[in-house]
Each structure stands twice: as C-alpha cells, then as structure tokens.
Amino acid sequence: MTTNTTRRHLISALAAGSAGLALSGCKPQENASSTSDFRPVTWKMVTAWPRDFPGLGEGANYLAQTITEMSGGRLHVKVYGGNELVPPFEVFDAVSNGTAQMGHAAAYYWKGKVPEAQFFGAVPFGMNAQETNAWLYEGGGLALWQELYKPFGLIPFPAGQTGVQMGGWFNREIHSIEDIKGLVMRIPGLGGEVLKRAGGSPKSLPGAELFTALQTGNIDATEWVGPYNDLAFGLYQAAKYYYYPGWHEPTACLECLVNKDAFNALPADLQAIVKIATRATNAQLLDNLTARNQAALDTLVEKHGVQLRRFPNDVLREFRKHAQAVVAELGQSSPMATRIYTSYRDFATQAGRWMKISEQAYFAARDLPA
C-alpha cells in the first residue's frame, strides 16, 4: 500500500468515525450554516514556528493538510510561519481578534495574559504525554482549557504532544545546583520560574532567536525540544553539553487555537473534521518525534561530538522541590487556577499510581539484566 493510499484510508476512517465523536467543551453548530449551503472557505493558520520547521512546523502542516483533505477542500487551511503574518508571540491575539481563523502554538507562551494556560502547555515534573492526553480527553482537562479561553473568543484543542523533552544545551557542565546560580537560560513558562528559584536567570525567546543568542553569549544555555528539533537548529554549534531529562517539559502539549465565531460559522461536519484533525495531529507529532529523536541524538553525539549528560540527582531534587511550590502557587492564583490545578493534581496522582504498575514496571522488566 502506498503512503498516499494509507493516508486516504486513514482519513476516510477518521471522517467516518468523527460523526459519533464527542469532544468535550464547545457546543457544535451554535450559528452553523447547513452543510449544503456552505460555500468553501480558506482559513489562515498562524504559527509560532518557522515555516516547515521539523516536528513543530510539520505538525502545523499536517493539521492544515488533514483538514483540507478531509473536507474535500471545502475548508482549505493555509499555513503561515512565525513572522509571515504575525510574530510568533502574537498568535493568540491574532486568532482572538480574527486576523487569522486558526493558530498553532503552545499555551505557555501566553502566561503574561492567561497565567492559568501554563497548566495546558507544560508542567515541570508533571504528567507525561500519555497521562496528559488521558487528562485532557478523558479526565475533564480539555473542558477546563476551553472554558479558560472562552472570554477571548477562542477554542483551544490539543494539537501535538512532544513527549519528554531534553533538558537543554549548556556551555558548561552542571555538577551541582551551584552551577545553576547566575546561569542565563532560555526556558519558558513554569520551568523558567523554577530555574529562577534555583538561582538562575530565565529568558523567553522565540525558537528562531535561540541559536544566535547562545552563540553570542547572550544566554549560557537553552532548551528547545529534543534531538530532532535541536539538530535542525544547529544548537550543537553553539554549546557542547546536552542534558537530560527534560524535567521542565515532561511533554509540551502544542495547541490549535480556533476563532470561536469562525468555528461556529462552520457546518457540523466541518466542525467535526476540525476537532478530529487536531486529535490526529496531537498523535502525529508524538509519533514523528518518537520515530526520529534517537537517530538525531546519534548524529549529534557521533558526528558532532556533543557531550550527552544526565542532570545529577541532587540538581533534579532541587528543581523538583521548586517545581512543586511553583505549580502549587500558580494553582492558588485565581479561582479558575484552583479548579485547573485541583483537577490536574488529582488526575496526576491517580494516573501516576497506575503508571508505576504498568509502564514503569514494564520498562524495569524489559531492562532487567539477563
């Protein structure tokens, strides 16, 4: 079977299943036109990534292509890279005010505007991709996320899990928490706040600016995503030490933002296609990165001489202590934050117990010495 045939089969299967699919949150068809009256439209999708960027940009392309194909072209989605229509950090506003109908970004970029959004982007020492998806789709998380963005005229959907990221690129070795003191690092969101409490100095920069900032010494360290994405940025040319695990982003959940009025103007079948296409993209990114990360890491180490390092346990313990405090404080910052935090924490507790019995026990069994 060719790739195209496989893809067509997948898309028909998804389309067939979408009619009975009920994702939580938005009510379909509030002002929707009927399917037969609907005239084909083109939506603009603004993104926070360089165009066609490996992993993240590919996820945006996959989402646009899937919606366009599943709808038979009735809803054509055109992708704009960061800065092509609006800068990366203005994606939220652009979709909210209708400059674009759709966006692809990460929720923690909006922490200055909607601090609670950070729970949906990445939580240091929080849930991994499998647990996060279970919370969002089956544990009430997505309904809370959609409620949070409602005042902005936006409907968010999960649209790309990264899985556990790498800890980042450092221009010096990290032996103890003393080495974090004074460290200027690009690390967004809650992870940045944790770094600050550990004595570091966090910065938030769009991905496209990382390489230069690291190379010129404006920052001492940066995290980005994982080997596949980081190799593409050439970060190995600017720093030698590559640390794991990515305690600050046990997964990042990318988001698809949809303008509520634009969504409500769609007939029910196209609304269903948008929902299921985001869910397919959510899986696609994780599969893409899982398939490519190790080969990219091998290239970084074997071809480019990158020094792979694991954070010392004492450093991880210190980060974890601060992370628990930072996340709990965010959870007390507003009534909505408390609802989200309580839901996240309770779900993480029960999912984590199950992970110990299932995935964690299985990995340990698989790695038992002969």
Binding-site ranges for Ca ion (CB under 5 A)? 165, 223, 249
Taking the complex as a whole, the smallest distance from the CB of residue 51 to Ca ion amounts, in Å, to: 19
Measured from the CB atom, is 275 or 322 closer to Ca ion? Answer: 322
Is beta strand 154-161 parallel, antiparallel or unpaired with respect to 253-259? antiparallel
Measured from the CB atom, is 116 or 223 closer to Ca ion? Answer: 223
Taking the complex as a whole, the smallest distance from the CB of residue 120 to Ca ion amounts, in Å, to: 15
List C-alpha distances in Å: 72 to 29, 150, 186, 354. Answer: 20, 29, 42, 42
H or E segment and range at residue 258:
strand 253-259
H or E segment and range at residue 159:
strand 154-161
CA angle 223, 85, 25 (to 5 degrees): 75
- Residue 166's identity, in one-letter code, is M
What letter would DSSP give residue 245?
Answer: -
Is beta strand 241-244 parallel, antiparallel or unpaired with respect to 201-203? unpaired
Taking the complex as a whole, the smallest distance from the CB of residue 245 to Ca ion amounts, in Å, to: 12
Measured from the CB atom, is 161 or 165 closer to Ca ion? Answer: 165
Measured from the CB atom, is 223 or 269 closer to Ca ion? Answer: 223
Structure tokens that stand for 251 in this block: 């997964």
Taking the complex as a whole, the smallest distance from the CB of residue 226 to Ca ion amounts, in Å, to: 8
Measured from the CB atom, is 145 or 233 closer to Ca ion? Answer: 233
Measured from the CB atom, is 191 or 267 closer to Ca ion? Answer: 191
> What whole-number distance in Å separates Cα of residue 167 and Cα of residue 75?
39
Measured from the CB atom, is 70 or 123 closer to Ca ion? Answer: 123
| Nearest of 341, 320, 347 to residue 133 by alpha carbon | 347
* CA trace torsion 138, 141, 145, 147 (10° rounding): 80
DSSP characters over 95-116: HHTTSSSEEEEEGGGGTTT-GG
3-class SS shares of the chain: helix, strand, coil, % to 5: 55, 15, 35
Measured from the CB atom, is 258 or 289 closer to Ca ion? Answer: 289
| Nearest of 257, 268, 254 to residue 98 by alpha carbon | 257
Taking the complex as a whole, the smallest distance from the CB of residue 165 to Ca ion amounts, in Å, to: 5
